[in-house]
């Protein structure tokens, strides 16, 4: 049986009604170690999103496909809004997602009021 490509499963989960993602525990297990390091810029940005939200108007998307973006954001929100993962795994998986959603780590912008 062919092993799943971790990137293929990254945005295949279903967001839960009250947060979480159907495959978040599997993603935490296969998340590359580089995103679990404290100094990873993607994971640091994910942490800022979790704690303070953000204005995403400066994001440079990797895709122009609006449906794909919608799915990616739904999965990102699911992971950040869930309770099943410990915080370190949540930030690592969200950082990994962001590294595939965007072409570069954006400058953090405070949420619009």
What residue numbers bound the domain in which 100 lies?
Answer: 31-113
**Distance separating alpha carbons of residues 13 and 18, to the nearest angstrom:** 14
Instruction: Note whether residue 23 is domain-resident.
Output: no
22-40 pLDDT, tens digit per residue, is 999 999 999 999 999 989 9
* Number of folded domains that form the chain: 1
Residue 100 lies in a domain: yes
Q: What Å distances lie between residue 37 and 31, 32, 44, 51, 91, CA to CA?
A: 11, 10, 9, 18, 10
Residue 25, in any domain of the structure: no
* Mean pLDDT of the chain, nearest integer: 91
Q: What is the pLDDT of residue 1?
A: 46
Instruction: Let me know if residue 68 belongs to a domain.
Output: yes
Say whether 78 sits in a helix, a strand or coil. Answer: helix
Phi, psi of 37 (to 5 degrees): -80, 140
26 within a domain of the structure (yes/no)? no
Whether residue 48 lies inside any domain: the answer is yes
Q: Is residue 96 part of a domain?
A: yes
Query: What is the three-class DSSP state of 1?
Result: coil
- Please say if the pLDDT value at position 94 is more than 50: yes
Residue with tokens 């998307």: 61
Residue 7 resides in a domain: no
At a CB cut-off of 8 Å and minimum separation 6, what does 104 contact? 60
């Amino acid at each position: 049986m062919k092993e799943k490509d971790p990137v293929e499963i990254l945005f295949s989960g279903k967001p839960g009604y009250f947060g979480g993602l159907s495959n978040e525990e599997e993603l935490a297990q296969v998340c590359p170690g580089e995103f679990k390091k404290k100094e990873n810029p993607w994971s640091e940005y994910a942490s800022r999103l979790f704690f303070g939200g953000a204005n995403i108007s400066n994001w440079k998307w990797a895709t122009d496909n609006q449906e794909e973006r919608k799915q990616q954001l739904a999965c990102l929100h699911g992971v950040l809004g869930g309770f099943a993962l410990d915080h370190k795994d949540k930030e690592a998986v969200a950082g990994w997602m962001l590294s595939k959603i965007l072409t570069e780590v954006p400058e953090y912008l405070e949420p619009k009021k």
